[in-house]
Structure 1
Amino acid sequence: MHCYFHLVHTHERILDETGIEVSDLEAAHYQALKAIQELKQEGEVDDVDWHGWQLEVVDEAGRVLLSIPLDAAQH
C-alpha cells in the first residue's frame, strides 16, 4: 500500500507529496517512527516547538491510518 507522512497541526500542514510503498500498517508505523527519529537526528525536533504537531500516516484515499504526536515522541 502507498502511504504519505504528513506533519499536521491545528492550522498548519506540511504535506508529503511523494509517499512510500509499504507492505502493511505495521511497516507504515515503523517508517513513521523512523521519520521522527531522522528529524531528531537532524536537530529539527529540538529547534522547533513541536507541541501539538502530529505525524499522520495517510493512505492514497486520504484516510488517516496512524497519528503520532511529535511532542510525545521527543521523550
Structure 2
Amino acid sequence: MPHFYFHVSNGTGETRDEEGVDLPDVAAAHAQALSGIRSILREELGRGVLDFGGMIRVTDPQGRLVLEVPFDSAVEVRHDDRRR
C-alpha cells in the first residue's frame, strides 16, 4: 500500500508531516487532504477567520510531489446577496 505525507502550508508557515499514512491510492490521498483542509478551516472559523490561501502538498516517501490541494478546493463558498 502506498505511503503518503501531507505537508500543510498556510498563513502560519509550513507544517511538515513526518509520519505519513498508508492509503490505497492517490484518490484516497486526495480525499484525506480535503478532510485535513476542512478540519483546519473549522478551527479557523472558530476564531472568526477563514484563510483560503493555504494548501496541502502530498508527497511520496522519496519526497516527490504527488498532489497539491489548495484550501479553496475543499469547500464551496456560496453567497446570497439578498438580505432578509
Is the TM value for this pair above 0.5?
yes
TM-score, structure 1 normalization = 0.75
Q: Within 2, Cα distance between the matches of 1:32 and 1:53?
A: 12
- SS of the residue corresponding to residue 18 of structure 1 reads coil
Larger Rg: 2
Deviation beyond 3 Å, 4+ runs, structure 1: none
* CA shift in 2, pair 1:36/1:11, >3 Å: closer
Structure 2 gaps of 5+ residues are 78-84
Q: Within 2, Cα distance between the matches of 1:21 and 1:52?
A: 27
* CA shift in 2, pair 1:58/1:30, >3 Å: same
* CA shift in 2, pair 1:50/1:10, >3 Å: closer
Aligned residues with identical type, % of pairs: 36
TM-score, structure 2 normalization = 0.68
Q: Within 2, Cα distance between the matches of 1:50 and 1:62?
A: 26
Structure 1 gaps of 5+ residues are none
- SS of the residue corresponding to residue 23 of structure 1 reads coil
How large is the RMSD of aligned CA atoms in angstroms? 2.3
